[in-house]
Structure 1
Amino acid sequence: MRNLLLYLEYDGTNYHGWQIQPEDITVQKTVEDAVFKIFKEKISVTGCSRTDAGVHAKKYALSFFTECKIPAERVAVALNTALPYDVRALYCTEVGENFHARFDTVSKTYQYIINNGKYDVFMRNYCWTVKSALDIEKMRSSAKYFLGKHDFKSFMTGEKDVTVRNVFSLDITENGDFINIFISADGFLYNMVRIIVGTLKKIGEGKLDGEKIPEIILARDRSLAGETAPPQGLYLYDVKYEVSEILK
């Protein structure tokens, strides 16, 4: 039995998120159907993260066990013959039997794209169009308050027992009218990135003082943070593992 680590990219527009649901089309089910078609095995794949409906991925990792003898370097090519146009296998490698695509992650990076210019009908599913002018420098100066290990309960939806996460970096860049927000952490709470983006947007609009962020974090009160940014601007950008874990 082999354990394979596979990387994907996908456009989440037509999917109800990653995780299998009884009545809806999901990325996981789509991938498992392709694996069955190529490998002739009924296999359950383990994803590195759950993504919501409409959320995209530029580098999504999953792992699965198989008896198939297709060389790892040929797996992505084979699967792409069975995958739809909006899901692509990037590359595959064989890993140790104890490797787990979700639990062995060291860091995840998300990208969020804001269009702060004219509404673009062709980009409507791939960014958040914000009509009010945003002060990028205010947003950048506020980013530092999110760095480090904090209790991010104010920046999540729902309930979870452990709400402490370690944010490694939060960078904001510009490309014409488009604002790119990159955030890396050891893990994320449900809607954490989208709420942080909504909070930064509020700061950029001048509706929230960025220096209030430490107070909002300490309060552990969702109502004090900004709105939840819509899903279509969010991309899982990168997933990292310890090399030693991959090689076991």
Structure 2
Amino acid sequence: MQRIALGIEYDGAAFHGWQSQPHGQTVQDVLEQAIGQVAAQPIRVHCAGRTDAGVHALNQVVHFDCAPASVRPQQAWIRGVNAHLPSSVCVRWAQPVAADFHARFDARARHYCYLLHNHPVRPALMHGRLGWHHHPLDAARMQAAAQALLGEHDFSAFRAAECQAKSAVKIMQQATVRRHGELIIFEFRADAFLQHMVRNMVGALVAVGNGREAVDSIARLLASGDRRRAAPTFSAAGLYLVGVDYAPHWNIPLPARIMPALFEI
């Protein structure tokens, strides 16, 4: 058997999330079908982090195993698989990896970015790719509040009720909020994330940015561990899995600086 790692980009608006479902309308489903066409065998892929319906990815990392008879040139796993994928999904890179590499369990950190259009009028061209809030937001207040998220915490106040993670304790390595014109950019990096965690943090920070909550409300929410005290879950439209960190010896490409190139930020 040979193990192959892929970097996947997708627009999540057309899919019911990452994880395979009976109706087949998920990113995992269409990716497995496309790889199977090239490999000429059934394929099961494993990802670095499952994304919810409507969430996008710039560098989702996956791996799969193929039999010796199914080994293909590296470009076949890119151009060949892309030929069988819908236009909203593509393979950006492919490479063989060690047999003990695992896209999920060997990940050291995940990077997420949330793009929020802060303007009285909703976006049209970027519909489904940006979140939107029509009241003015103070990015400096949100940046100050976000610092309470850094470090090791129990993030129960920001997890979905149906989250199946064994522990809500995660280590937040980056939490930044900045403005670029009408766009507010939230960036988070942690060892792992709970279901809806980023969207719930964004919702809580927006409540600080519009003056409904105090700057120290994020710290108080963390301490409470009570999801009922936090703001509603924010829209999935502006959320992107930007990349995944691995130890250097796995030779996995680093998360690309794609966001500035796409959005001039």
TM-score, with structure 2 as normaliser: 0.90
The answer on whether the counterparts of 1:108 and 1:186 sit within 8 Å (CA) in structure 2 is: yes
1:245 to partner: Cα distance: 3.9
Offset of residue 72 of structure 1: 2.7
- Structure 1 partner of 2:182: 177
| 1:47-84 Cα deviation digits (max 9, x unpaired) | 11111111110110100001222123542122111111
Q: Does 1:236 align with 2:238?
A: no
- Distance between the aligned counterparts of 1:56 and 1:221, measured in 2? 28
Please give the residue correspondences for 1:29-178 in structure 2 after superposition, counting only pairs within 5 Å.
29-67=29-67, 68-117=70-119, 118-158=121-161, 159=163, 160-178=165-183
Code of the residue aligned with 2:224 in structure 1: it is A
Correspondence for 1:223 among 228, 231, 235: 228
Q: CA RMSD in A?
A: 1.3
2:6 is the alignment partner of 1:6? yes
The letter for the 1-side match of 2:98 is: G
5+ residue gaps, structure 2, are 253-265
**8 Å Cα contact 2:155-2:168 kept in structure 1:** yes
Counterpart residue type for residue 129 of structure 1: W
Gaps in structure 1 of 5+ consecutive residues: none
Structure 1 distance, partners of 2:245, 2:80, is 24
Residues 73 and 93, structure 1, Cα contact 8 Å, conserved in 2:
no
Task: State the secondary structure of the residue aligned to 2:125.
Answer: helix
Question: What's the TM-score, normalizing by structure 1?
Answer: 0.96
- Aligned counterparts of 2:197 and 2:229: Cα–Cα separation in 1: 14
- Provide the aligned length of Structure 1 versus Structure 2: 247
Distance, in Å, in 2 between the alignment partners of 1:182 and 1:14 is 24
Moved more, 110-119 or 66-75: 66-75
CA distance in 1, matches of 2:153, 2:160: 16
Q: Which residue of 1 aligns with 2:258?
A: none
- Give the aligned residue type for 2:207: K
1:20 aligns with 2:25: no
1:151, CA displacement in angstroms? 0.4
Q: Distance in 2 between matches of 1:73 and 1:146?
A: 41
% identical aligned pairs: 32
The ranges of structure 1 where at least 4 consecutive aligned residues each deviate by more than 4 angstroms after the TM superposition are none
What code does the residue aligned with 2:110 have?
K
